[in-house]
Structure 1
């Protein structure tokens, strides 16, 4: 037993230094090169912080683009999904309620054309982004409420559409940034 005790203690010490000390420092150093310097990308409007681009926000007013539903009511302290499967009756009822609500506020969109992301919550409950299709589906409602041409909103969505790293992965639109730009639209 003594033969294994000393090597075990040494390996534990080495791994503790590597994984609890050097690795977090390494990741913190890399984080300094991303937007927000590892503290989250602050979104500014009129000289003040209105939110963070990496956390979903709740928008309920018809004059704004609305993000994905949240199973945790956008509470960043307790992110998580509903943990209900696609055959769960409670989950299906919730999704149907979201579809019905979306249809009331967006009567020009056919039920089969509603992007799934607008009626299903993300795994974290804090997804800050939509697909361009999710934003475009809401443009007619916002154009009507704000009294602007819908083409102007489609152009705004295109301007705020981002590709993933190196152009890989799906395109996305940050809802908070888009709504800030919407308020600045003349």
Structure 2
């Protein structure tokens, strides 16, 4: 009995500290210092939540920029099933998927003769990537401009305005958030 009581008291105290006090403290700090990130980096449009800047969405209309392919199943961009396909670059299934996506992208962009940007035909490690490279956005701008009946220069200006540089000027690559670009496109070009 001498050993059980201190063990139960320690267990109860640690449960309160690590299961209640610490999470409340961290949540309070996050809400006060980083409220946008703590609440999911949600994007609002016309008073409604339309998505998150951290999770990609499927766009298939020619009037919109297309996202990087998603590897989540059973549906695309499923946050509950985050994870890549885990197929190496020499895997036959991976190669078939890339060839099929290259064929589809080339068919949708017949005026483009250069190489297809890699992020338009391969999935990201999480399968949820919300961003594409500026090269992927520029590759698609002719299709979007034609579908919206506007000059390519209008679309290029929007891409330039929504291109984010490297984080802290040294980490990662330049990127364009597809949802934010498509929302700006709807506001600028009807």
The question of a shared fold, defined as TM-score above 0.5 by the shorter chain, is answered with yes
1:57-136 equivalent positions in 2, closer than 5 A:
57-72=57-72, 73-112=76-115, 114-136=116-138
Distance 1:137 1:15 in 2: 55
Q: Is 1:99–1:111's contact at 8 Å kept on the other side of the alignment?
A: no
Distance 2:177 2:35 in 1: 14
Q: SS at 1:56's partner residue?
A: coil
Q: Is 1:103–1:111's contact at 8 Å kept on the other side of the alignment?
A: no
Return the offset for 1:31: 3.3
TM-score (norm 2): 0.82
Q: Structure 1: state its 5+ residue gaps.
A: 1-5
Change (3 A) 1:37 1:83: closer
Distance 1:16 1:142 in 2: 55
Q: How many pairs are equivalent?
A: 178
Q: SS at 2:66's partner residue?
A: coil
Return the offset for 1:137: 0.8
1:100-135 Cα offsets, whole Å, 9 max, x none, are: 0000111122252x1100000001000001111111
Q: Structure 2: state its 5+ residue gaps.
A: 1-5
1:1-12 equivalent positions in 2, closer than 5 A:
none
- The CA RMSD over aligned residues, in Å, is 2.5
Change (3 A) 1:164 1:148: same
Residue equivalent to 1:155 = 157
Return the offset for 1:168: 2.2
Distance 2:137 2:35 in 1: 23
